[in-house]
Amino acid sequence: MELFLARLFDGLSSGATYAVIAVALVLIYKATTLINFAQGELAMLGSFFAYILAIEQGIPLYLAIVLAMLLSAVLAAGIERVLIRPFDPSDHLPLVIITLGLFLVINAVAGMIWGFDPRSFPRMFPEGDVWSMGIARLRWYTVGTMATVLILLVLLTLLLKKTKIGLAFRAVSSNLESSGLVGVRAGPTLQFGWMLATAVGTLAGALF
């Protein structure tokens, strides 16, 4: 029983983190039916932004993560406007090549600036256990990660269902051509999707 609970708690913490990463991927895929191969590298870059702000600049960790999410969103807006929007969204081959190129470029640039050695990111949640039984330990990290995922999902649901930009994003995701006929501007809406996905990816990187 203890072994089962230990594996369950470990799986919950890992699964919650991967769920955030999956949300970021799905946001782009739903809007463009394109898998963003650079999503992981953008999340890594956002995590480095948070690391620099928190460790090197001395900004409180939670504020540093929020600022890093904003910086990542601005970067994603520029990427979408300059590299993605000029191409026909129905022609996936150029877009796939671009995201693969971004994957390589971001990885190389980050390695040149920060090196390739792993760095430990500050813990977002307190050390220690909420509850334990033998080798089974329910850690604050697990509880905090799951709570963060639930809050994120609630906020995304409200954003996509209760706001004008959210409804526009859903319309573009459902039918790009028809949404344009009713006045939805596809370019800025897809740009919003890129910004949102990259910000969520940065949060996932900070959790991981």
* Percentage of residues in the chain having pLDDT higher than 70: 86
| Residue 119 or residue 162, greater confidence | 162
Closest CA to 105 of 49, 45, 158, 156: 45
117 has pLDDT over 60: yes
SS3 state at 141: helix
pLDDT digits 0-9 by tens, 142-196: 778 888 888 988 998 898 888 888 888 887 777 767 777 677 777 788 888 889 9
Angle, vertex CA 43, rays to CA 38 and CA 47, nearest 5 = 145
SS3 state at 35: coil
pLDDT at position 183 is: 72
pLDDT band, residue 135 (cuts 50/70/90): low
pLDDT band, residue 137 (cuts 50/70/90): low
Please tell me the distance from the alpha carbon of residue 30 to that of residue 16, in angstroms, as a whole number: 21
Tokens of 51: 């690391």
Burial of 134 (0-12, 13-18, 19+ CB in 10 A): exposed
Domain ranges of the chain: 2-207
**Pairing mode of beta strands 129-133, 136-139:** antiparallel
Tell me the mean pLDDT in the region 23-32.
78
pLDDT band, residue 5 (cuts 50/70/90): low
pLDDT at position 50 is: 92
Q: Cβ–Cβ contacts within 10 Å for residue 142, how many?
A: 22
DSSP string for residues in 19-33: HHHHHHHHHHHHHHS
Contact at 8 Å (CB) between 64 and 53?
yes
pLDDT band, residue 72 (cuts 50/70/90): very high
Tell me the mean pLDDT in the region 106-130.
80
Mean pLDDT of the chain: 82
Q: Which residues contact 31 (CB under 8 A, 6 or more apart)?
A: 169, 172, 173, 189, 190, 193
Please tell me the distance from the alpha carbon of residue 151 to that of residue 145, in angstroms, as a whole number: 10
Please tell me the distance from the alpha carbon of residue 172 to that of residue 30, in angstroms, as a whole number: 9
Angle, vertex CA 162, rays to CA 65 and CA 150, nearest 5 = 45
The whole-model pTM stands at 0.86
DSSP code at position 88: -
